[in-house]
Amino acid sequence: MKDKDRKTIKLSYDGVDYTLMYTVASVRKMERDGFDFTAMEQNIVNVGFDLFSGAFIAKHPYVPKDVRDKIYLEVVSENEQGQNLLECLSNMLSTELDFIINKPQGNVSWTMV
């Protein structure tokens, strides 16, 4: 999937613009770093922070985690806005996971001999 086809969140914080998104590489990094996609419902407190932080990896990997967490806390301080953000992040992640699992077939063929 090309970046232009991915869903993104655009936000501005303290005069800096950010584009949040997931890619195959960023989802793989999240998993390598310990994010458990199967336990999202059991980790209610951390899942929001982790989804938000993971969405920075593709375009803004060098933004420190404490800054990501601070932005997240400001966004979710308003209940409705926070709930909408979590829904958007979950939807974006689901779209990327679906692409990873069900990628379109390419021009590769192989055989074991």
Taking CB atoms within 8 Å and a gap of at least 24, the contacts of 45-50 are 48/72, 48/76, 48/82, 48/85, 48/86, 48/89
Backbone dihedral angles phi then psi of residue 6, each to the nearest 5 degrees: -85, 150
Tens-binned pLDDT, residue by residue, of the chain (113 aa): 666 677 899 999 999 999 999 999 999 999 999 888 777 777 777 888 899 999 999 999 999 999 999 999 988 886 666 678 888 998 999 888 888 888 766 667 777 87
Q: What is the pLDDT of residue 82?
A: 65
Contact 27, 98 (CB under 8 A): no
Domain ranges of the chain: 3-101
Q: What is the pLDDT of residue 109?
A: 74
Q: What is the pLDDT of residue 56?
A: 96
